[in-house]
Structure 1
Amino acid sequence: MGKAAREQSARDRIKAQRDEQKQKDRRKRAVTGATVAVIALAAIGAGWWFAAQSSRSEQVGAALAPITVAADGSVVMARPGVEKPVLDVYEDFQCPACKALEETSGPTIKNLAAEGKLKVVYHPITIFPEQASKGITRGNSLRAAAASRCVPGGPSWIALHDKLFEEQPSETAEGFAIPDLIAWGKEAGVTDPGFEACVTSQEKAAAHAEYSTKIMDGQKLTGTPTLKLDGTEVDIDVAFKPADLRQAVLDAAK
């Protein structure tokens, strides 16, 4: 083989080796890219999984903590001797966001109280002004809250509380009719002989309206739902994530 032929053969081998190396490099980059993509997707999936777990509602346990109604209309749910941490729940039975909070984090709040890890104080209030929707939403809210005040306490109070949110009417429609409120109370287990007359006359409505104004002004509330843990407002993102809310309560108890 002549010199020229040998040089050409060497150049061909070098070119072939370079081409083969380029192919190896391309395959390596492709595999690395795919691996990174899989890792990225796994990370994203883990993030979604964690978010889903944080947002997943608990199931209410069989036993609830004792429930007592205070003279001012607030309602305490706590095991005997449990005084802290304290979670104040400011809510309006006509408020759609309050209904959403009850459906999402309500079971967690009940469970923490039942476990003896939290004292819960419910504050049903009416946030709607006199002129709201020509008085429809305010009237709905007042009737529902006044009816809840006719329950002396116990499991039937929280059962009616939950039923009122379940049956919450549209903000543009009249709802919480007196006959329905009475029927729902009986369904909730209210046996107090004065319940029906109390609901029918709406005798608690004026006291409820006065209490609402006092709470709105005193607590400087800008709306409902509002949760305050030991006096500090709970971030709305935490409030609507049961796992995060549970952790916040446990941290407050340390």
Structure 2
Amino acid sequence: MAKNSAKAPDRGAASARQAKIQAAQKSAGGGANKIVVATVVAIVAIIATVGGVVWSQMSKENDVTGGGNALPAGVSELGQGYPAFQDVTPVDGAPTVDLYVDYQCPACAMFEEAFGPTLSQQAADGKIKLVYHVKNFLDDNLRNDSSTRAANGAFCASDAGKFQEYSDQLFPGQPEREGDGWTDAQLKAFAETAGVSGEALTTWESCVAAGKYTDYVNSVEKQSFADGVKGTPTVKVNGEDLDTSTLVNAEGTAFDPAKLVAALEAAGK
């Protein structure tokens, strides 16, 4: 019988190799597992960071846009008027003056020219509580969106504490021809003149572009109409309509701010 020329396996060498492999695995101490764990931890950290950035960005955007239901400071629900001069504490018995206006309204501009400074001074002195109900019905009448955009400009300025300063410019700054409306540049110029600057101005621009307070303005229009306010300007003192025709001088040729003050003082008694 022919002999097999192949050598028998060297069992000692095989055992030695196996021992080396096992020793190497033990010396690694589960190193591969550590790498996997470290990788997972890193991925989780990245996800958390990215998620935090996204949440922060969404939070900032909601601060600007209001998520569609933004209310100006001092207003607790849609449809309510905006209380001006919120940093002033009214005196006891101060009457509430509700002023219904549309920023494109020419008659409102005339009223503002005659009585605006008086109302502002009375409110600043705490003698009245001045509440604005900013309407936008003239957008439909004039086929533009300037009443809504101007209202957004005023309430976005209120975020920077500059509502009155902004509002005071809109009536004297009405376009010469009714219906022309304001350009974005004009509305921005009002903000700058009102004292909105730097980062606050950038936020104001984003606020107006997003129409942050459009839903609020629409709700005020709807509520005021439901309350029987059909035109502007309308003035209510302690809930009662003030007949502005009684506020003219003895000659009947011009409005008389002194008569407005007298009417407000009488309402506060």
- TM-score of the pair, normalised by structure 1: 0.65
Deviations 1:132-163 (A, max 9, x none): 23x13xx1211111211212357621111011
1:90 aligns with 2:95: no
Q: Could you say which residue in structure 2 is the equivalent of 1:40?
A: none
3-state SS in 2 of match to 1:88: strand
Q: Could you say which residue in structure 1 is the equivalent of 2:256?
A: 241
- Rounded Cα–Cα distance in structure 1 between residues aligned with 2:214 and 2:185: 16
CA-based RMSD: 2.4
- Rounded Cα–Cα distance in structure 2 between residues aligned with 1:126 and 1:157: 17
Q: Could you say which residue in structure 1 is the equivalent of 2:155?
A: 149
Q: Paired residue for 2:208, among 193, 199, 202?
A: 199
CA contact (8 A) 1:75 1:123 kept: no
* Pairing 1:55-204 to 2, within 5 Å after superposition: 69-71=74-76, 72=78, 74-77=82-85, 79-82=88-91, 84-128=94-138, 130=140, 132-133=141-142, 135-136=143-144, 139-152=145-158, 156-170=162-176, 172-191=178-197, 192=200, 193-204=202-213
Task: State the 1:87 CA deviation.
Answer: 0.7
C-alpha distance 200-153 of structure 1, shift in aligned 2 (>3 A): closer
C-alpha distance 100-142 of structure 1, shift in aligned 2 (>3 A): same
3-state SS in 2 of match to 1:210: helix
Percent of residue pairs bearing the same amino acid type = 31
1:225 aligns with 2:240: no
The one-letter code of the counterpart of 1:93 is Y
CA contact (8 A) 2:154 2:167 kept: yes
Larger radius of gyration: 2
Task: State the 1:217 CA deviation.
Answer: 1.3
- Rounded Cα–Cα distance in structure 1 between residues aligned with 2:220 and 2:191: 22
- Rounded Cα–Cα distance in structure 2 between residues aligned with 1:179 and 1:206: 23
- TM-score of the pair, normalised by structure 2: 0.61
- Rounded Cα–Cα distance in structure 2 between residues aligned with 1:117 and 1:94: 28
C-alpha distance 222-86 of structure 1, shift in aligned 2 (>3 A): same
- Rounded Cα–Cα distance in structure 1 between residues aligned with 2:113 and 2:194: 18
Q: Could you say which residue in structure 2 is the equivalent of 1:250?
A: 265
Q: Paired residue for 2:218, among 192, 209, 213?
A: 209
C-alpha distance 154-101 of structure 1, shift in aligned 2 (>3 A): farther
CA contact (8 A) 1:69 1:153 kept: no
